[in-house]
A and B are shown apart, each in its own frame.
Chain A
Amino acid sequence: MTAAAGPRQRVVHRRSRLAWAFGIAVLVALALLIDAAVRSKVVDLKVVAQYIASPRILEGALHSLLLGTTALFIAVAIGLVVALMRVSGNPILVAFSSTYVYLFRGTPMLIQLIFWFNAFPIMFPQLRIGIPFTDIVLVNEAMTKLVTPWLAALLGLSLAEGAYMAEIVRGGILAVDAGQRDAARSLGMTSLGVMRRIVVPQAARIVVPATGNQYIMLLKSTSLASAIGYLELLRVTTDIYATNFFVVELLVVAGFWYLVMTAFATAIQTGLEKAFPHR
């Protein structure tokens, strides 16, 4: 810097008056809404406080978190395999993977959960696993006994989410510059080595934000498992208010815990993005 700068000129920058007017209008409207809510006593905070950390609610929230998190890990694994099939160029693998994505992304998650819990055991009433060509039977059990609400929910969420993850991972793989592959091949890496050491590590960094988004969606989608009787957060909440009729307060409690889970997922995503930045 040269020291030739003279006295600083005073400058008044343009302000957007319209936006500020809108902002004030929004504040007034919010104040009116909150005032009305307080007057009509929409929510009894004492009841909220009573339930917010109750053991049943906490257990339900934990079930949701475990279900959503386990399903995410399985979905990521499915997504990676299906995406690799899709980009393999082999017609059978490409057809298989695109059909999988079409079916599982194209039907409602709720229908898939109900399918695995109710329809699947009707289609295959008995599970018998033996060693082929021998009489040894390892498992012989009624399907209705094996397919618990937890298993059906996990299967349904993982397979449905796996279809979304497959597309996300495929996008990530395609986003890796072709020059990276050329460089790796020119060093003498095999196709598998190029995928494992160069393409997948870079694609993984690219897909972190989208995967974080899916994790949040998935944590909230665990509420669908209430329809097949799995005791996750929403099911516990509705069970409780069915007996005491504190509908508003209990939904507030459930909403609070979903927000906590979402904050947790966001924190993980932010951490991963910092640890493995896309360069």
Chain B
Amino acid sequence: MTMAGPTQAHDASDAMIRIAGVTKYRGSVAVLEDVTVDVPKAQVVAVVGPSGAGKSTLLRCVNHLDTIDAGRIYVDGLMVGYRERDGVLHELTDAEIARQRTRIGMVFQSFNLFRHLKVLDNVAAGPMNVLRMPRGEACELARRLLKQVGLEGKESVYPNQLSGGQQQRVAIARALAMSPSVMLLDEPTSALDPELSQEVVSAIRTLAEGGLTLMIATHEMAIARGFADRVLFMIAGRVVEDAPAKRFFTDPQHERARQFVRSHD
């Protein structure tokens, strides 16, 4: 990728994820409205709020799976999805965006494992096809990551033969295989029953302890209250409360946040 000179592709602040004044419309409805968040390296941010608040949309904008209508998003200092020329944002090419996404891991609510590939090939798919890692090396890496998420011995089964919790852990390993600098987790436990979500929560906790920068849209109190550093509370496309996790749960400021905390006690 060539770095066009006079653009503001680079961001001077030391935030790992920088979301600055982001607005997004679906039709005439603003699904994100002037969202501004700086996430320093190694911080774990829980994005909470009622359904339809824009949590998923916000995460999907960070790796440009969704487009934005105003504002800027930077990951590791680099503007995501666009380059700026004379104050106008121009969408990057397919290949440029693809390259940016290699540094941004994503885990989905419905796992989205590649159904036609065995577990090992799911994890090796990124390194092999995108990073052009030799097959043997990619499989070696995949084996190590599967072991890390506690799925040794499941390498050659297909995703549909695994429980939801196991599938989500494969999905985490698949995202890790690209050695991303940040990871976006979109309601990673919402499709799981409480017992299975525990194993996924502990896999995510391991990532957090490993110093990876995480943004997690979640309803799971074991994450938000358990080990998140910071909570963003969203309603109708706006971040209405942004506080350290401890303070959010002991002394929420916004009325709806107070209700939310009370209902999860």
A residues lining the B interface (CB < 8 Å):
177, 179-180, 182-193, 197-198, 201-202, 205, 276, 278-279
The complex places the Cα of A177 from the Cα of B158 at a distance, in Å, of 17
Contact A186 B113 (CB under 8 A): no
> Is the Cβ of B116 less than 8 Å from the Cβ of A183?
no
Q: Which of A182, A205, A278 is in CB contact (< 8 Å) with B112?
A: A182
State whether A190 touches B108 (Cβ < 8 A). no
**Smallest distance from the beta carbon of B112 to chain A beta carbons, Å?**
4
Bound form: Cα–Cα A174–B108 in Å:
20
Residues of A contacting B104 in the complex (Cβ-Cβ under 8 angstroms): 186
Q: How many residues on chain B are close to A (CB under 8 Å)?
A: 30
B130, A187: Cβ atoms under 8 Å?
yes
- Whether A189 lies near B130 (C-beta < 8 A) is yes
B residues near A279, Cβ cutoff 8 Å: 115-116, 158-160
B108-132 with Cβ < 8 A to chain A: 108, 110, 112-116, 125-126, 129-130
> Which of chain B's residues 58-72 have a Cβ closer than 8 Å to chain A?
63, 65
> Do A184 and B114 contact each other (CB < 8 Å), given the known contacts A190-B95, A279-B158?
yes
Q: How many A-B residue pairs have CB under 8 A?
A: 73
Give the CA-CA distance A88 to B240 in the complex, in Å: 40
In Å, the complex CA distance between A16 and B130 comes to 60
A279 vs B174: C-alpha distance in the bound complex, in angstroms?
Answer: 19
With a CB–CB cut-off of 8 A, which chain B residues contact A184? 114, 125
7 nearest CB pairs, A to B: A188-B102, A183-B112, A179-B112, A186-B106, A187-B126, A188-B130, A188-B101
Q: Is B247 an interface residue (CB 8 A)?
A: no
CA distance A184 to B175 in the complex (A): 10
- Specify the chain A residue showing the minimal Cβ separation from B99: A188
Q: In the complex, what distance in Å separates the CA atom of A192 from the CA atom of B108?
A: 22
Give the chain A neighbours of B174 by CB distance below 8 A.
183, 187
Seed contacts A186-B105, A186-B106, A187-B102; 13 additional CB < 8 Å A-B pairs: A179-B110, A180-B114, A182-B65, A183-B108, A184-B114, A186-B63, A187-B178, A188-B101, A193-B129, A197-B129, A205-B116, A276-B116, A279-B116
Residues of chain A with a CB closer than 8 A to B95's CB: 190
**Complex: A180 Cα to B113 Cα, angstroms:** 7
- The reply on B195 being an interface residue by CB < 8 A is no
A261 CB, min distance to chain B CBs, angstroms:
30
Could you tell me the distance between the alpha carbons of A183 and B71 in the complex, rounded to whole angstroms? 25
